[in-house]
Amino acid sequence: MNIMRFFGFDGEDDYDDSDDYIEERKKRKSGRGSRSSGDSNSAGKLIIYNYRSETLSTDKIHLREEFNKGAMILVDLHELNQRQYEEEGKAFITFMNGVAFARDGVTTFIEPAQYLFTPGQGMCEVWPEGSDKE
C-alpha cells in the first residue's frame, strides 16, 4: 500500500510536506525558525518522518514535542536495511510507542516499516477498501 494513497493523495500535483519538514528543521538549527510562541496547538497536523540515524537524537525530541501538542506522526522506516531496522528502527518504534502510551495515544501499523502514531482515540480510522463510508 502506498502511504500517499492511504491518505488520499493520488495525483502528481499532490502536496508532499517532507521537504518542508527538512527546511523547517534547518531553520530551527540556525535559529531562524518561523514558529511563534502562540503556535502551541498542533492538533490535526500530520508529520511524515523518514528515519535518519544522523539526526535521531534531536528528531526524537522534536517529534515528542509535536505529538504532545496534538500532531499525528507517520514514521517511515523503508530507507533502513535489515540490520539498521533491527538495531535502530525497532528501538525508535519502541520509543514512539512509549510516547503514544504516555499520552493515551494509539499506534497504527500501516504496512511493514510504516507506523502512524495518533495522540487520541478516534483520530485515525482505517476503513476497508470499497466501504460505503466515503
User: How far is it, in rounded angstroms, from Cα 124 to Cα 36?
Assistant: 28
pLDDT per residue over 94-131, tens digit each? 999 999 999 889 999 988 889 999 987 656 666 677 65
Per domain, the residue ranges of the chain are: 42-123
pLDDT per residue over 14-26, tens digit each? 444 555 555 655 5
Query: Which positions ≥6 away from 49 have C-beta within 8 Å?
Result: 21, 59, 63, 73, 74, 75, 76
User: How far is it, in rounded angstroms, from Cα 13 to Cα 104?
Assistant: 36
Minimum mean pLDDT range among 2-6, 42-46, 49-53, 103-107: 2-6
Q: pTM higher than 0.85 for the full model? A: no
Architecture of domain 42-123: 2-Layer Sandwich (3.30)
Q: Where are the alpha helices (DSSP H) in the chain?
A: 3-6, 18-30, 56-68, 82-84, 90-102
What is the residue-averaged pLDDT of the chain?
74
pLDDT per residue over 50-92, tens digit each? 988 888 888 999 999 999 999 999 999 988 989 998 999 999 9
Query: Which positions ≥6 away from 50 have C-beta within 8 Å?
Result: 18, 76, 78, 79
